[in-house]
Structure 1
């Protein structure tokens, strides 16, 4: 069963890294720190990292796991 994607999201006190569907957050003072930690976790768990902007919208996504798309090159 694939792992849950990791999200970097804004919080009232900074930024957080959390897995889809809950399961707790790790809090960070800066978005840069949260992205670094989220990237390491997504690589380790071989899932996708979704980075949200201050407005909550996804602004970037990076896949570190199995990519279901069949694209050559």
Structure 2
């Protein structure tokens, strides 16, 4: 389902990729691996990728789908 956000979040023993659309949580040893997998999934799903830091706060966002803030100019 297009438009559901993908999150890269800290996990117990590494990093995880989670989708708001559901599905299995993917686990990775490094944040770099999780970001690469999350980016691919966000591109495929035309979704927004939200990358969280170790503290759980969003530190970066990347949109790979329809951007609702379509500003002409």
TM-score, L = length of structure 1: 0.90
Count of residues in correspondence between the two structures: 73
Structure 1 stretches (4+) deviating beyond 2 angstroms? 21-24
The answer on whether the counterparts of 2:9 and 2:15 sit within 8 Å (CA) in structure 1 is yes
- Matched with 2:59 is 59
Q: TM-score, normalised by structure 2?
A: 0.90
Instruction: Measure how far apart 1:3 and its partner are.
Output: 3.8
- Corresponding position of 1:7: 7
Q: Which whole-Å CA distance do the structure 1 matches of 2:45 and 2:9 have between them?
A: 18
**SS of aligned partner of 1:43:** helix
1:21 is displaced (CA, Å) by 5.8
CA distance in 1, matches of 2:11, 2:25: 10
| Structure 1: segments with no counterpart, 5+ residues | none
How do 1:19-30 and structure 2 match up within 5 A? 19-20=19-20, 22-30=22-30
Contiguous gaps of at least 5 residues in structure 2: none
- Say which SS state the counterpart of residue 70 (structure 2) adopts: coil
Moved more, 17-26 or 35-44: 17-26
C-alpha separation in 1, matches of 2:21 and 2:45: 15
CA RMSD, Structure 1 to Structure 2 (Å): 1.5
